[in-house]
Amino acid sequence: MKLTKALVTLLALLRFNLVAPQAQAESEAELPAVQQLQAVDLAVYQTGEARQGAAADTQHVYAIDNFTLAKYEKAGGSLVARWQGIRGGAISHLNSCFAEKTQLFCANSNFPELPMASSVEVFATDSLRHIHSLSLGIMDEGSLTWFDRLGEG
């Protein structure tokens, strides 16, 4: 009985080794070619705040630092508005933002503090006034560093 089981296992392994390379070659042949893209700078903005990230809407760019946001005109680069949080406050580590309609949605965390806590902070794009905070609670999984809208959600 043990010899039969060993032969079946050996035949299965031989069959796998004979079939698998062919199946692998067929699946690799179906992969599309990798498209090589090249980035082109459209504009460069000199800001003191963009140490964490940047966001943009049609008329403005937003520079992001830990607890500072700055709004600049795309045309000309002049400072339009600035929001400054409190060092050590609840909004202490803004990571990234995205602008949608009249709001700027930002990922915030308490990095490098433990336990980890994160939130989504919402600012008015016209004045950078803080208008809403959505706590994601205390997590062992890590800090919120970025997010985006998925579909219509």
**Which residue matches tokens 């919120």?**
144
Q: Could you tell me the sign of the dihedral formed by the alpha carbons of 35, 41, 42, 47, in that order? A: positive
For residue 126, the cross-strand partners are none
Domain-located, residue 19: no
Domain-located, residue 82: yes
- 121: CATH: 2.40.10.480
Model pTM? Answer: 0.73
Q: How much is the pLDDT for 118?
A: 94
Torsion from C-alpha of 125, 144, 111, 89, nearest 10 degrees: 40
Q: For every one of its 153 residues, what pLDDT tens digit does the chain have, with 9 covering 90 and above?
A: 444 444 444 444 445 454 455 555 555 668 888 999 999 998 888 898 999 999 999 999 999 999 999 999 999 999 999 999 999 899 999 999 999 999 999 999 999 888 999 999 999 999 999 999 999 998 878 889 988 888 876
Number of domains in the chain: 1
3-state secondary structure of 153: coil
CA 77/CA 27 separation, integer angstroms? 50
Domain-located, residue 28: no
Domain-located, residue 87: yes
Domain-located, residue 111: yes
Domain-located, residue 43: no
Domain-located, residue 80: yes
